Amino acid sequence: MTNENLLGIHHVTAMTDDAVRNYEFFTNVLGMRLVKKTVNQDDIHTYHTFFADDVGSPGTDMTFFDFPNNPKGSPGSNSIYRTAFRVPSDAALEYYRDRFDQFEVKHEGIQDLFDKKVLPFEEADGQKYQLVSDENNTGVAPGKPWKNGPVPEDKAIYGLGPIEIHVSYYEDFKQVLMDVYDMKPIAEEADVTLLDVGEGGNGGQVILRKDESSSASQGYGEVHHVSFRVADHDVIKKWEEKYNERGMRHSGNVDRFYFEALYTRIGHILVELSTDGPGFMDDEPYETLGESLALPPFLEERREYIEAQVRPFDTTRSK
């Protein structure tokens, strides 16, 4: 394995209809920790919230934009269709199934998928997810469950699981995942392939489905992009060179302060590569992560303006 190989899933970014409702769902129902409340660096009128494990480990982040006046999206092909979250065991799935019933969360019951137990569910705005059991799982290590969250640590979500992508150009897309990103098909059924990323396992997998229905429309309730992990700055620069050699258009390396990022588009799918560091712990104390509006240094001088533009909402939990 060369130095520039992908290490697994880094984060998924989606669009929400309401940052406050979304925060309450992720913290109070799912039991994921808000580790950063900041703004979209490309659109400072928009919140960017990061939900993760106890310390914001790479591979555990689900993040959201709440673009003003964003229309409702519609699910379909040529999209990142469903995000998954890892839980420690089959018993944890049963715990969440009962919890979803208690909180009236729409779900489809516990199912089997590629020899894994999964629990598909939806958020109020239609965003599609599933929990996946780590029972008998190997590969990419999980994060650390939120110590002070509402879900017991032995049941709680502690990482991202396999990312489900639907495309109409199934064979071509699969070839790109294999040739460019060195993903390895490990199981195939009719019109669906499970591919390993890096060390594989639930924290490093993509589920690719052939879907010839109409294409999804972007908007709230839909995923914006997926990001895969790379080690550091040197590796992301190597990926810039690799994209250039293949004639693939890309963003160039973007310093997001919490990590470095490189974006490209494969057909309809926006794919990001992100460095594991520096991470989310440098600009806020562990005890109060996500409780105030965090801004990277290059936006700090505009704090007064930004705070006047975004709708304030209280995320204090350390009282």
How many Cβ atoms from other residues are within 10 Å of residue 20's Cβ? 16
Q: What is the pLDDT of residue 68?
A: 87
Q: What is the pLDDT of residue 1?
A: 41
| Contacts of residue 235, Cβ cutoff 8 Å, sequence gap at least 6 | 3, 4, 275
Q: What is the pLDDT of residue 318?
A: 80
Q: Please report the domains of the chain, with CATH numbers, ordered by start residue.
A: 8-309 (3.10.180.10)
Q: What is the pLDDT of residue 221?
A: 98
Instruction: Output Rg (C-alpha) for the chain, integer angstroms.
Output: 19
Whether 154 contacts 88, CB under 8 Å: yes
Q: What is the pLDDT of residue 4?
A: 86
Residues of the chain whose pLDDT is less than 50?
A: 1-2
Q: pLDDT exceeding 70 applies to what percent of the chain?
A: 99
Q: What is the pLDDT of residue 196?
A: 98
Q: What is the pLDDT of residues 120-131, one digit of tens each?
A: 999 999 999 999
Whether 97 contacts 28, CB under 8 Å: no
Q: What is the pLDDT of residues 138-153, one digit of tens each?
A: 999 999 999 999 999 9
Residue type, 111: Q
In whole angstroms, what is the distance from residue 274 CA to residue 74 CA? Answer: 27
Residues in the chain: 319
Listed residue (224, 206, 272) closest to 13, CA to CA:
224
How many Cβ atoms from other residues are within 10 Å of residue 97's Cβ? 18
Q: Give the β-pairing of 223-230 and 269-278.
A: parallel
Q: What is the pLDDT of residue 319?
A: 64
Q: What is the pLDDT of residue 88?
A: 98
What are 299's two structure tokens?
A: 């936006």
Whether 159 contacts 76, CB under 8 Å: no
Please give the full DSSP string across the chain, using - where no structure is assigned: --TTS--SEEEEEEE-S-HHHHHHIIIIII--EEEEEEEETTEEEEEEEEEESTT--TT-EEEEE--TTPPBPB--BSEEEEEEEEES-HHHHHHHHHHHHHTT--B---EEETTEEEEEEE-TT--EEEEEE-TT--SS------TTSSS-TTTS--SEEEEEEEESSHHHHHHHHHHTT--EEEEEETTEEEEE-TT-STTSEEEEEE--SPBPB-SBTSEEEEEEEE-SHHHHHHHHHHHHHTT--B---EE-SSEEEEEEEETTEEEEEEEEEE-SSSSS-GGGTTSSB---HHHHTTHHHHHHHSPP-------
Listed residue (242, 275, 241, 246) closest to 258, CA to CA:
275
Cα angle 34, 53, 24 (rounded to 5 degrees) comes to 35
C-alpha separations of 304 from 43, 90, 290 in Å: 16, 47, 18
3 state DSSP class of 1:
coil
